[in-house]
Amino acid sequence: MTGTPTRVLVLNSGSSSVKYQLLDMADGNRLAVGLVERIGEETSRLAHTPLQGGGGEKREKNGPIPDHAAALKAVAEELASDGVGLDSPELAAIGHRVVHGGLRFTAPTVIDDEVLAEIERLVPVAPLHNPANLTGIRTAMSLRPDLPQVAVFDTAFHTTMPESAARYAIDVATADEYRIRRYGFHGTSHAYVSRETAKLLGKAPEEVNVIVLHLGNGASASAVAGGRCVDTSMGLTPLEGLVMGTRSGDIDPAVTFHLKRVAGMSADEIDALLNKKSGLVGLCGDNDMREIRRRVDEGDPAAALAFDIYIHRLKKYIGAYYAVLGRVDAVVFTAGVGENAAPVREAAIAGLEELGLAVDADLNAVRSDEARIISPDYARVAVAVVPTDEELEIARQSFALVQSSASSNE
Ligand SMILES: Nc1ncnc2c1ncn2[C@@H]1O[C@H](COP(=O)(O)OP(=O)(O)O)[C@@H](O)[C@H]1O
Ligand SMILES: CC(=O)OP(=O)(O)O
Ligand SMILES: [Mg+2]
């Protein structure tokens, strides 16, 4: 080992997957990237790509991985077999995506028992995510108890929202007692993508107003004014807002009382219905946009209606955030669907010419991993595709925190 450690392992533990990256913050190089998916099913898959020294072949392993702890141990084995295992003295920190940080966590935080307890307390408001994040943290702690484990919260970027956007119009005393307010999620992605968009436009983040559309399995929109979030579509939990892979997004809250009173469903059953059996999967049986587009192209009416509902909601948020921002410099698509699904981008922007928005069909059809503008030259507002990189942003924030605490301890 030479000098101080500069590597950061980032774990992005989702409800049924773990995405990970090992980065060297001395030069910003990635040493490995990978994904474990379908955790808890018979058909789990681990895909690991070594990238150091010119890189190596992607390795895939198929077979059941029962839980997140087993997934992380499998990741640790892959890294060890490349000579960059978790026991490496060059590791400076392990950075964890934590979805819900509540009101308390507005910045990256070194995890101790008290922080763990607070993340645990927030499980009811991020039931699909915080438990997976906790397992990732606890497993990483057991593998490297000596190393700083840093939590980077999805909610942190949204803490700049004004009260007018963050508060629900409900009884204030009840809201305050139970900390019911809009927190927003995917903040690490919204922060990264809005900054990268400013770069793409050749401007400073303070100069630009951007609508960011993060369309993955979970999906959210945000209005970012001069680098600060002023509104976002997810709320107390990641259920509010856009139509998602398996989540309904916005819904009249009376639907839940109705399901309880008339259909006799329990709170847990309604929770599962809205979080896991709704959205695209509830509408047409598929949550993968590739499959839905294939079905639409074959003339399948259920898939076509699901697509139309998804686009209708997206358009409503573009219009709403246009009004919230007053002046918009760019509308940006990101995450799995936003980066790859040209038909979604085309349909979401169609008909918005009066707002200065248009998509150039040829530019939209280009497949690329680069940030790019897809609007025609004449359009007043840029429409862009900017790949997100939550893992890089988590690594940067984790490393910066570890460095600053090291220097303040000197
Ligand atoms: N080529 C593609 N065309 C359309 N949709 C795609 C494509 N590639 C990925 N997707 C969509 O991206 C989604 C996953 O996005 P991602 O941002 O990785 O989600 P998450 O982080 O929530 O798991 C998939 O469900 C799929 O619908
Ligand atoms: C908060 C959230 O919805 O995250 P994901 O998109 O990873 O499910
Ligand atoms: Mg995601």
What's the pTM value of the predicted model, to 2 decimals? 0.96
How far apart (Å, rounded) are the C-alpha atoms in residues 227 and 197? 10
Choice from 217, 311, 391 to test ligand 1 binding pocket (greatest atom count within 8 A of CB): 217
Beta carbon of 99 within 6 Å of any ligand 2 atom: yes
Which residues belong to the annotated binding site for substrate?
97
How far apart (Å, rounded) are the C-alpha atoms in residues 268 and 251? 17
Beta carbon of 338 within 6 Å of any ligand 2 atom: no
Residue nearest to atom 24 of ligand 1 (CA): 288
> Domains of the chain (ranges plus CATH)?
7-153 (3.30.420.40), 201-385 (3.30.420.40)
Q: Indicate if the alpha-carbon torsion angle 321, 323, 324, 325 is positive or negative.
A: positive
Residue nearest to atom 4 of ligand 2 (CA): 218
Measured from the alpha carbon of residue 245, the closest ligand is 1
Which ligand 1 atom is at minimum distance from the Cα of 17? 23
Residue type, 3: G
- Residue-by-residue DSSP string for 240-301: SSS--SS---S--THHHHHHHHTT---HHHHHHHHHHS-HHHHHHS---HHHHHHHHHTT-H
**Residue 138 · residue 98 · CB < 8 Å:** no
Beta carbon of 314 within 6 Å of any ligand 2 atom: no
Could you give the angle at the alpha carbon of 196 between the alpha carbons of 193 and 199, nearest 5°? 155
**Residue 49 · residue 34 · CB < 8 Å:** yes
The two structure tokens encoding residue 185: 């999620």
pLDDT in tens, the chain (410 residues): 457 999 999 999 887 889 999 999 999 899 999 999 989 888 999 999 999 887 789 999 999 999 999 999 999 999 999 989 999 999 999 999 999 999 999 999 999 999 999 999 999 999 989 999 999 999 999 999 999 999 999 999 999 999 999 999 999 999 999 999 999 999 999 999 999 999 999 999 999 999 999 999 999 999 999 999 999 999 999 999 999 999 999 999 999 999 999 999 999 999 999 999 999 999 999 999 999 999 999 999 999 999 999 999 999 999 999 999 999 999 999 999 999 999 999 999 999 999 999 999 999 999 999 999 999 999 999 999 999 999 999 999 999 999 988 877 76
ipTM above 0.85, yes or no: yes
